[in-house]
Structure 1
Amino acid sequence: MPAARQWEFAGANGAVTAHIWPHDAPRYVAVLVHGYGEHLGRYGHVAAALHDHGALVCGPDHAGHGRSAGDRVLVDDVDDLVADLHTVVASAREDLPGLPVIMIGHSMGGLVATRHAQLHGAELTALVLSGPVLGRWDALAALRDLTEIPDVPIDPATLSRDPEVGRAYAADPLVWHGPFKPATVRALLAGIEAANRHGSLGGLPVLWLHGEDDRLVPVAGTRAGIEAIRGTALTSKLYPGARHEIFNETNRAEVLADVTAAIDAALAAGSPR
C-alpha cells in the first residue's frame, strides 16, 4: 500500500490536516473518522485492509487533534467537525466522481460520522460505526457540572486486550493524555442530543460494531442512540470480551473482515438514496 499523503485546508476553526492513502484503481472511497484525543495516524492497518479491498482511503485529523491546528481536544460544536469532514468527502467526490463513499467512524468519530450522515446522507453508500458515542454517555454527563474536571487520563488497558496497543497509545506524542475540557464536554453532549433528535437514517445501510467489554463507551448507552437513529438497513454485531478499540483488538482481523463484507453488500445493493 502506498504511504499516506497529507494535505491541509482551512477548516471551521483553523487549518485541518487530512490524510489520503491513494489507490491506482479504486472501487470506492473509504472515509475514516477517528475518535476523541487520537489521530488518523493510528489507523494505518485499517487503511491497509480497506486499500487491499479496493478503497482509496482518506480522512481528517479533527481540529485540535493530531497534526491539525487548534487548542488541543477543544471542540466548540460537533457540527464544526462535521463541516471539516464534509470538506474531505467533497474533495474525494470531486477527484473521483461517481465512486461510492463508505464512512467509518470510531467512538467520538462515530458521533461525527452519524451527524454527517444525518446532514449529508445522500453522499454516502453506507455507514460503519465502531463503539460510537451515541444515545447517552454517562461518564461524560457526570463531568458536565464540575467546576474542575479531574486530570485523569484514559486508562490504556481499556482500549484493547492486546497490551501493545496500550503501550503504543501511552507513548504516542500526538495522542492527548490530559483531561476533558469543559467546552468539549458540553459540545459532545449537545452533539449526542442533536443526533438523538434528528432521528432515523432512513434506508442508509448502517453497520454497528461494539465490544461487549467496552468500559469507555458502554454498549447500553450506545444502544439507546442506535435505536434513535436506526432506519431500515441496520446490522449490528457485538464482540464478546472485546474492549473499546475493536479495530485494535486481538480479533481485529475478524472485525475488519466483517467491515469489508458489509461494504461488499452495500456496494452490491447500490446507493439507497
Structure 2
Amino acid sequence: MPFLDHPRGRAYYRHWAAEQPRAAVIFLHGFGEHTGLYHRYGFALNAAGIDLWAVDQFGHGLSPGDRGDFGTIEDSSALADALTELAADRHPRVPLVAQGHSFGAVVTLFRVLAHPQAYRAAVVSGAPVVAVPALRDANTTFDLDPALLSADPFYVDSLINDPLAFVGADGVALVRELDRGWDRFGAELPGLTVPTLAVHGSNDMIAPVGAVRAYAEQIDALRFVEFAGARHDILNEVQHRDVAAAVVGFIADQLG
C-alpha cells in the first residue's frame, strides 16, 4: 500500500495511471470523503489521457488522525506537495493540474495563490469561498444528510455503507481552517492568475453557488461552469460524466 511521509503520520494515496499521460491532476478530497470514492472520476480522466493522484487526508480514509480532522491547511498542502513530487518524478515533462473539492478546494486555492508557477492550471468543485453561516458554530458536530450531498444513489449508498466514509464528525478543526480561508479570499482571490475552472451545482446547500459565480465575474483567470440541479458533491453527482467532461475539456484547453 502506498503512503506519503508527514510529521503527523503516513498518509495513504492512490494513483490512477493513464497509459501515456498528457497531464497529471493532484487531487484533495473534502470532508467525510476518501480517495476510494473517486474511482470512476479517475477512470474518466484516464480515458482522456490524464493521470489522477489523490491522497486520503488526515482524519480520513486510511490515513491517521481523529475522524474528520484535516489538521491545518498547511498539513493538507504538504500532502499535495508530496503527491506533486511523485507525479513530477514519474513523468517529468507532463503538465500538472491542482484540484480540490470542498475543503480540498480551499487548500488548492491557497496553493495556487501562493505558488502560481507550480501548476499549469487548477480545478475546484463545491468551493466554499465565502463564510457559510451553518458552518460558523465551531462547537457543532456535523451530521449531514447524505441526500444534501448528491442525488446519485450509488454515491449516497457509498456514504452510508462505506466504513471509511462519513457524514458526521467534530467540526472544530474544519471550521477553524475554513475561517482562515474566508479571511484570505476576500483580499487575495481577485488576484488569482493561474487558469482555474470552478464546477458547481446550482443546488449546493453546503457552499452556495452565488459566491463562486460572483468571483468568476470579477476574475479573468476563473472559469465557471454551473450544473443545474446538482448538489455539493458534484464530481459524484448524477451529472458526473458531464462534470468530468468539463474538466477534461478545460485541461485540454490549457494544454493548447
Scaled by the length of structure 2, the TM-score of the pair is: 0.92
Distance 1:233 1:182, change over 3 A: closer
Q: 1:257 aligns with which of 229, 245, 248?
A: 245
Contact 1:135 1:192 in 2 (8 A): yes
Instruction: Report 1:86-97 matches (<5 A).
Output: 86-97=81-92
Partner of 2:203: 213
Partner of 1:179: 169
Contact 1:204 1:231 in 2 (8 A): no
Q: 1:162 aligns with which of 145, 152, 157?
A: 152
Name the CA distance, whole Å, in 2 between partners of 1:38 and 1:233.
28
Q: 1:7 aligns with which of 2, 7, 20?
A: 2
**What is the alpha-carbon root mean square deviation over aligned residues?**
2.0
Partner of 1:3: none
* Per-residue deviation, 1:40: 1.0
* Per-residue deviation, 1:119: 2.1
Name the CA distance, whole Å, in 1 between partners of 2:177 and 2:234.
25
Instruction: Report 1:122-271 matches (<5 A).
Output: 122-141=117-136, 143-144=137-138, 146=139, 149-150=140-141, 152-200=142-190, 202-223=192-213, 226=215, 231-268=219-256
Q: Aligned with 1:26: secondary structure? A: coil
Q: Aligned with 1:97: secondary structure? A: coil
Contact 2:59 2:66 in 1 (8 A): yes
Q: Aligned with 1:128: secondary structure? A: strand
Letter in 1 for 2:157: R
Instruction: Report 1:94-133 matches (<5 A).
Output: 94-133=89-128
Name the CA distance, whole Å, in 2 between partners of 1:78 and 1:38.
17
Name the CA distance, whole Å, in 2 between partners of 1:95 and 1:172.
31
Contact 1:63 1:69 in 2 (8 A): yes
Contact 1:15 1:69 in 2 (8 A): yes
Name the CA distance, whole Å, in 1 between partners of 2:224 and 2:168.
32
Q: Structure 1, residues 96-130: CA drift from partner, whole Å, max 9, x if none?
A: 11210112211111111111112222111111111
Name the CA distance, whole Å, in 2 between partners of 1:233 and 1:181.
32
Length, aligned pairs only: 256
Partner of 1:271: none
Q: 2:26 aligns with which of 22, 25, 31?
A: 31
Q: 1:85 aligns with which of 61, 71, 80?
A: 80
Q: Aligned with 1:11: secondary structure? A: coil
Q: Structure 1, residues 127-177: CA drift from partner, whole Å, max 9, x if none?
A: 111111212222111x13x4xx24x52111112222332122111110134
Letter in 2 for 1:37: G
Name the CA distance, whole Å, in 2 between partners of 1:127 and 1:38.
20
Name the CA distance, whole Å, in 2 between partners of 1:200 and 1:217.
19
Name the CA distance, whole Å, in 2 between partners of 1:18 and 1:140.
28
Q: Unmatched 5+ residue regions in structure 2?
A: none
Letter in 2 for 1:115: F
Letter in 2 for 1:205: P
Q: Aligned with 2:143: secondary structure? A: coil
Q: Aligned with 1:263: secondary structure? A: helix
